[in-house]
Copies of this chain bind each other. A is one copy, B any other.
Amino acid sequence: MGDGTSARRLEPSEVPTPERILDAALASFGSRGYDGTSLDALGAALGMSKQAILYWFGSKEGLLDALIDRSARELADVLELALVGADGGWAKVEAVVRSAFRLAGRRPELLGLVREVSRLGPGAALRLVSALQPLIERATAFLEAEMDAGRLRRHDPTILLLASYSAVTGVATEVEVLRALGVEPDRRSLARRRRALIDLLRAALVPAPMPG
């Protein structure tokens, strides 16, 4: 988006090999985890040998780094769009949360990777958060301004961000836990979970209306 590339949908065979590898890696790292994914298996799933992967990314860690970069960019693009697009105050917060849930429905692996990354040592986590830094800063500034203006209840912005992010990813992606809690994690329940979490956040963030 924004560059000169045509927006036409590419045939699968037209997708450049590195992109296809990153797609497969995202799916596998997000579900089976980084350690649980072997280059052999990844190559087999792509119909190529693992050396093709090593050719493009040099090493398994290089693949992870590239994947983190691309994923962070995609995540930041989606959320930034919502952050810029909607009206201010609570409406903007809700728009961002909604788009995060939409992402969880359309590309669950992406949030799965984010969860996985925080487990892969300081390097990976730092890389991810660094790539998200501009988004985080903009979000923090927005929250502080809205709190100053009295349109949102005052809270520690950093903790608010981390707590909301944790809650959203937890509620949107912890399918095993949900199943064990008796919630079948299908599309319909995702919408219900989204509504419930938005209600919760609204209660925490929207100031009580002046009585009368």
Please list the residues of chain A having a beta carbon within 8 angstroms of any beta carbon in chain B: 33, 35-36, 115-116, 118-119, 121-122, 125-126, 129-130, 133, 136, 153, 155-156, 158-167, 169-171, 174, 176-183, 192-193, 196-197, 199-201, 203-205, 208, 211
Contacts and interface: CB of A to CB of B under 8 A. Distances in A.
Nearest to A129: B180
Nearest to A153: B203
A193 to B, nearest CB: 6
A181 B33 contact: no
Contacts of A193: 159
B119 A160 contact: no
Contacts of A122: 176, 179
B180 A162 contact: no
Nearest to A193: B159
Contact of A115 (B119, B182, B197): B119
A36 B178 CA distance: 26
A142 to B, nearest CB: 16
A86 to B, nearest CB: 21
13 contacts: A33-B35, A33-B119, A35-B35, A122-B176, A129-B177, A129-B181, A130-B180, A136-B181, A158-B182, A161-B181, A162-B174, A163-B171, A165-B170
Contacts of A119: 33, 115-116, 119
Contacts of A136: 181
Contacts of A179: 122, 126
B126 A176 contact: yes
A208 B136 CA distance: 31
